């Protein structure tokens, strides 16, 4: 599907961001391995989270989907051996976290995914999970999906992670629930902490101290009720649009502002963005607020490795914002962006250049000269949802028509993205 987008004269209105994708995945997983019923309100219904729901159905969990999602948890050892391969679709979170869960389970399973997911590195979860005692094999010397797991009999480990990754951290913590003793993960830089925030509400024994997270194995989790807050990473596209398009005024209601996710908000404020954060409150252990965003004249900024994990999924739209900020914005220490749903450094450099911006690409980032006068172009999204959405926002500031190819990729995290865009700019 191709979508054509023209320059917008303004963006006005109020949105409720779609439910948080990361929290939705975790709520499905923890509810499935807990004992008894869980009720999840405001679960994200998008392709990635449906991959997780279907995976747990294949593992024998009863899940009913209505306004609320009700999961009849099977308990720690209640999952059953799947009779077929589990398809994780495009979702790295499904594959990596599920590999952690399956490592604890004494049966055989195989995980695969779409063309993009099958090129994403899995050695980063396979290595520590094998150290815990799981038998895991994968393609190309145990590096890429499909992954075959025979789990069970885990021992706890203390693992210093070589890269900051919430998916790797969470896979180890989930496996740690099945190990006999305390499993400890030490991060190089703090990554999103939804797993360790959510686990105690299911009854797990978790201790967080700085960059170290410890989980005690052998405890049976119990079903709970969870409310999923709005996804800051989805809201980020419209927040950026409101800042970049003159005369804009946007309210984002009930969006998660967890500090491990809010790096983009801090960076925008440093760049001079007119955003006010109000009505801060807590929803299911996560900080949530309403954001008021107005058109702003932005200044360039330098961003380094220590900031990247807290804005990892906002990188594509941050590049678009940088193209409209006065001066040269440099983003370094972002090598992980090359192994996301697409090579996001390459995709952003290529598309922004096509639209007329000056971009220099590095192995681990790029620099972008602003404020650029963008012109409409044909954009290759590489089937990546966040690349499609980022260039849709760039298109609002560009002269002429921009064509977004493979625009259906937005269904991965934000199925209503284009209808919301139309409403806000209409």
- Catalytic residue positions? 313
- Stretch 144-183: interaction string toward ligand S3P, x if CB under 6 A: ---------------------xxx--x-------------
Cα distance between residue 329 and residue 372, in whole Å: 12
How far apart, in Å, are the Cα atoms of 21 and each of 72, 197, 206, 214, 374?
A: 21, 15, 22, 24, 31
Cα distance between residue 284 and residue 227, in whole Å: 6
Q: Residue 312, interface with ligand S3P (CB under 6 A)?
A: yes
Q: Residue 284, interface with ligand S3P (CB under 6 A)?
A: no
Region 190-209 residues binding ligand S3P, contact defined as CB under 6 A: 191-192
Selected from 24, 38, 42, 93, the binder of ligand S3P by CB under 6 A is: 93
Report in angstroms how near the CB of residue 352 gets to ligand S3P at its nearest: 21
- By CB under 6 A, the count of residues binding ligand S3P is 12
Cα distance between residue 108 and residue 95, in whole Å: 15
Report in angstroms how near the CB of residue 67 gets to ligand S3P at its nearest: 24
Query: Is the Cβ of residue 74 or residue 192 nearer to ligand S3P in the bound state?
Result: 192
Report in angstroms how near the CB of residue 312 gets to ligand S3P at its nearest: 5
Give the position of tokens 């979170």: 93
Query: Is the Cβ of residue 194 or residue 369 nearer to ligand S3P in the bound state?
Result: 194
Residue 339, C-beta contacts closer than 8 angstroms, at least 6 positions apart:
120, 121
Q: Residue 234, interface with ligand S3P (CB under 6 A)?
A: no
Q: Kindly state the DSSP code that residue 342 receives in the 8-state scheme.
A: S
Q: Is residue 300 within 8 Å of 267, Cβ to Cβ?
A: no
- Number of helices (H) and strands (E) in the chain: give both, helices first: 13, 23
Report in angstroms how near the CB of residue 163 gets to ligand S3P at its nearest: 8
Cα distance between residue 221 and residue 202, in whole Å: 5
Report in angstroms how near the CB of residue 170 gets to ligand S3P at its nearest: 6
Query: Is the Cβ of residue 312 or residue 394 nearer to ligand S3P in the bound state?
Result: 312
CB atoms < 10 A from the CB of 155, how many?
A: 12
Instruction: List, as one string, the DSSP characters of 122-182.
Output: -HHHHHHHHHTT-EEEEHHHHTEEEEEEE-------EEE-SS--HHHHHHHHHHHTTSSSE
Region of residue 246 (phi > 0: left; psi between -120 and 50: alpha; otherwise: beta):
beta
Report in angstroms how near the CB of residue 386 gets to ligand S3P at its nearest: 8
From the centroid of its chain, how far is CA 149? 24
Helix axes 385-397, 232-244, angle to 10 degrees: 10
Query: Is the Cβ of residue 164 or residue 374 nearer to ligand S3P in the bound state?
Result: 164
Q: Kindly state the DSSP code that residue 415 receives in the 8-state scheme.
A: T
Region 12-31 residues binding ligand S3P, contact defined as CB under 6 A: 22, 25
What's the sign of the alpha-carbon dihedral 304, 305, 306, 307?
A: positive
Measured from each CB, the residue nearest to ligand S3P is 22
Query: Is the Cβ of residue 267 or residue 372 nearer to ligand S3P in the bound state?
Result: 267
Report in angstroms how near the CB of residue 336 gets to ligand S3P at its nearest: 5
Query: Is the Cβ of residue 81 or residue 160 nearer to ligand S3P in the bound state?
Result: 160
- Stretch 326-365: interaction string toward ligand S3P, x if CB under 6 A: ----------x-----------------------------
Query: Is the Cβ of residue 103 or residue 397 nearer to ligand S3P in the bound state?
Result: 103
Selected from 187, 196, 313, 380, the binder of ligand S3P by CB under 6 A is: 313
Q: Where along the sequence are the contacts to ligand S3P (CB under 6 A)?
A: 22, 25, 93, 165-167, 170, 191-192, 312-313, 336
């Amino acid at each position: 599907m191709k979508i054509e987008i023209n320059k917008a004269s303004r963006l006005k209105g109020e949105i409720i961001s779609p439910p948080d994708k990361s929290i939705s995945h975790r709520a499905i997983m923890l509810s499935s391995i807990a004992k008894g019923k869980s009720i999840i309100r405001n679960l994200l219904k998008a392709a990635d989270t449906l991959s997780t729901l279907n995976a747990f159905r294949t593992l024998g969990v009863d899940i009913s989907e209505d306004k609320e999602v009700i999961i009849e948890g099977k308990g720690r050892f209640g999952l059953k051996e799947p009779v077929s391969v589990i398809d994780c679709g495009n979702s790295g979170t499904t594959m990596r976290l599920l590999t952690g869960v399956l490592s604890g389970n004494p049966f055989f399973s195989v995980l695969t995914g779409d063309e993009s997911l099958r090129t994403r590195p899995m050695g980063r979860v396979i290595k520590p999970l094998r150290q815990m005692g799981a038998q895991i094999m994968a393609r190309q010397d145990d590096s890429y999906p499909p992954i075959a797991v025979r789990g069970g009999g885990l021992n706890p480990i203390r693992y210093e992670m070589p890269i900051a990754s919430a998916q790797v951290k969470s896979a180890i913590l989930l496996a740690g629930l099945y190990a006999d003793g305390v499993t400890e993960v030490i991060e190089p830089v703090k990554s999103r902490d939804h797993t360790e925030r959510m686990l105690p509400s299911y009854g797990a024994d978790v201790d967080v101290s700085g960059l170290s997270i410890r989980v005690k194995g052998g405890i049976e989790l119990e079903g709970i009720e969870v409310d999923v807050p709005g996804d800051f990473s989805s809201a980020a596209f419209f927040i950026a649009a409101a800042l970049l398009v003159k005369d804009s005024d946007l309210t984002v209601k009930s969006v998660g502002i967890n500090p491990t996710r809010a790096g983009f908000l801090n960076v925008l404020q440093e760049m001079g963005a007119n955003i006010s954060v109000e009505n801060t409150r807590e929803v299911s252990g996560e900080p949530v607020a309403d954001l008021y965003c107005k058109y702003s004249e932005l200044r360039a900024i330098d961003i380094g490795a220590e900031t990247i994990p807290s804005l990892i999924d906002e990188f594509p739209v941050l590049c678009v914002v940088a193209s409209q900020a006065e001066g040269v914005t440099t983003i370094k220490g972002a090598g992980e962006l090359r192994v996301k749903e697409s090579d996001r450094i390459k995709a952003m450099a290529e598309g922004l250049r096509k639209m007329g911006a000056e971009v220099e690409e590095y192995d681990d980032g790029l620099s972008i000269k602003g404020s650029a006068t963008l012109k409409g172009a044909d954009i290759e999204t590489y089937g990546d949802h966040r690349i499609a959405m980022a260039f849709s926002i760039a298109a609002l500031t560009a002269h002429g028509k921009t064509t977004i190819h493979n625009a259906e990729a937005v269904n991965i995290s934000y199925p209503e993205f284009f209808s919301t865009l139309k409403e806000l700019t209409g």
